[in-house]
Amino acid sequence: MIVLHALVQTPFPAHTFLFYQISFLFAKIDILSGENFFADNFGFVETDPYTPILEQMGFETKNFMINSVSFFPVLLGIIGWFVVKLLTNKICTYFYFKNWAREVGIWAF
């Protein structure tokens, strides 16, 4: 919603704009150096931001992957976690007659 306000250039009071700017700063904390990973492994075209207000808020380009910093590495980790649990559960149901398989299967379910 905040980003849409910037696209239609709704005026913000100064204190609200400062609050949003600080909020976006914390939202864009790059834990896994995603921006460096994308710059090294992918060739993205640098584009201008939609509006100057978005540039002031920290969205320097129209490219979502550059603006999202660590979103995709974290998403891959979450998906990987569920895939590992699913595979573990399937293996444990195959060996249901073993005691260790029941214990691990309960964890994975």
Q: How deeply is 53 buried, as exposed, middle or buried, from its count of CB atoms within 10 A (0-12, 13-18, 19+)?
A: buried
pTM over 0.85? The answer is no
Nearest to 63 by CA among 29, 39, 80, 86: 39
pLDDT value at position 78?
A: 92
pLDDT value at position 3?
A: 58
Task: Write the pLDDT tens digit of every residue in 75-103.
Answer: 888 999 999 988 988 888 888 888 888 88
Average pLDDT, the chain: 77
Give the containing element (helix H, strand E) for 62: none
